[in-house]
Amino acid sequence: MKDKTLEQFTMDVSSKEPVPGGGGATAMVASLSSALAQMVTNLTIGKKKYLEFTEELDDIRKEAEILRSNLLDCIEKDAEAFRPLAEVYSLPKDSEGYEEKMEKCLRDAADSPLLILKYCTRIIDLDERLAVIGSKISVSDAATSVMLAHGCLYGAYVNILVNTELMKDRDYAEDLNRQAVELLDEYSVKALNVYDDICKRLTNG
């Protein structure tokens, strides 16, 4: 799926087909967020003013590239997890093994958005540092990156909730929800702080 053109991907999202949907779209936007973070490093490395940060910037660049690639893989992972869930939804509720099949599919479907959420937190961490050591000419790209990641936190979170809501194992469901909300609470604030700090610098605020 990640090899499709942007035109094909967005047309697929807009269709009535169940995948790619919110989860795949979140992964795509998050991959762009990571790509922007990588762009900041590429615009900074080699500039005289930032030579002391070369090694750190290179480490950030490498991690951002891994995140970008992993998030693209999440588009397919999300689709692969949803397809069997959609099949179970179509089965009669009194069919043999229905509840067990549904529970497994719900767990699998929640795994991908939780992973996307965790990847987004790392992008926000990288952007927080890039706002400090990145070239001034690319600081707006860091700000854009962090706000894309900020939005993706919420996209991933709600795609966890839509699955945990239906789980019979409430202990498992609540543990996933707890992990997700803790990350959401911490990193939504951090992302906004990074964005606000950059905007203040750009407006001499």
pLDDT values of the chain reduced to their tens digit, one per residue, 205 residues: 667 888 988 898 898 887 888 999 999 999 999 999 999 999 999 999 999 999 999 999 999 999 999 999 999 999 898 888 888 888 888 888 888 999 999 999 999 999 999 999 999 999 999 999 999 999 999 999 999 999 999 999 999 999 999 999 999 999 999 999 999 999 999 999 999 999 999 988 6
Q: How far is CA 48 from CA 12, 19, 34, 70, in A?
A: 45, 47, 25, 32
Q: How far apart are the first and last CA of the chain?
A: 44
- Its pTM stands at 0.93
Domain ranges of the chain: 21-86+96-202
What's domain 21-86+96-202's architecture? Up-down Bundle (1.20)
Tokens 């926000």 — which residue? Answer: 124
How far is the CA of 199 from the CAs of 21, 131, 140, 193, 204, in angstroms? 32, 11, 8, 10, 8
**190 half-sphere exposure, CB direction, 13 A CA radius:** 21
Residue 108 structure tokens: 């699998």
